[in-house]
Amino acid sequence: MAGTRQDGRVERGNRTRQLVLARAAAVASVEGLEGLSLGRLATDLRLSKSGVFALFGSKEELQLATVRAAVAMYDEHVVRPTRGTPAGLGRVRQLCASWIAYSQDRVFPGGCFFYAALAEFDAREGAVHDALAAAQAGWFSFVERRIEEARALGEIRDDCDAAQLAFEIIAFLELANGDSVLRGSSESYTRAWRAILGRLRAVAVDPSSLPADA
């Protein structure tokens, strides 16, 4: 019986932690990671302040846990759908489409969580900066590998600089996100998609395998 009660407390604690982190990620996407406070989250979620404080030992710990939660949500909405598409140009296109849907559908109310958080912490030092930098590096590497896969399959020209193309694709996506949040318009996503297709056609062995326009 004691073990059952303990398991129940652990399960409730995990559910509460997930609830708090989902709210924290949503708030941080709009107000920044520095805008987070345990008291505010407890109030927002109508939870016991002492219970929420027991889950996180410090504001930095809360921020780091929020970044990890955002990474998991990003993986769910952007990375996993891409893995279900066969390797090649189709997979590169899918990762772009998944990213645009993630931003446009406002998985985070402030747009891309990482676009906002990186702008907040890029010039700082410390554990939160390092966690965000690692997440960004992982995303760049993921995109680059998908391009290299397409090149290995003979769908992208051998002289394509995969790292450069990954940089350009991500730049188009991030600008679309920022412009959409700023202006409340979806036009930037159409422009980004058109620009990305143009770059992919420029490096494709068979440009006709790609749509002519967005």
Plot region of 85 (φ>0 → left; ψ -120 to 50 → alpha; else → beta): beta
What tens digit of pLDDT does each residue of 114-168 get?
A: 999 999 999 999 999 999 999 999 999 999 999 999 999 999 999 999 999 999 9
pTM of the model: 0.89
Report domain extents, the chain. 59-209
Q: Based on the number of CB atoms within 10 Å of its own CB, is 62 exposed (0-12), middle (13-18) or buried (19 or more)?
A: buried
Distance CA 80, CA 76 (A): 6
- Choices 3.30.460.80, 1.10.10.10, 3.30.2350.10, 1.10.357.10: CATH for 59-209: 1.10.357.10
Amino acid 85: pLDDT: 93
What tens digit of pLDDT does each residue of 171-201 get?
A: 999 999 999 999 999 999 999 999 999 999 9
Distance CA 61, CA 109 (A): 22
Secondary structure (DSSP) of 131-173: HHHHHHHHHHHHHHHHHHHHHHTTSB-TT--HHHHHHHHHHHH
**Residue % of the chain over a pLDDT of 70:** 94
Q: Does residue 76 contact residue 42 with C-beta atoms inside 8 Å?
A: no
What tens digit of pLDDT does each residue of 1-15 get?
A: 555 555 666 677 688
CB neighbour list of residue 94: distance below 8 Å, 6 or more residues apart? 81, 82, 85
List C-alpha distances in Å: 112 to 19, 39, 94, 104, 144: 19, 25, 18, 9, 20
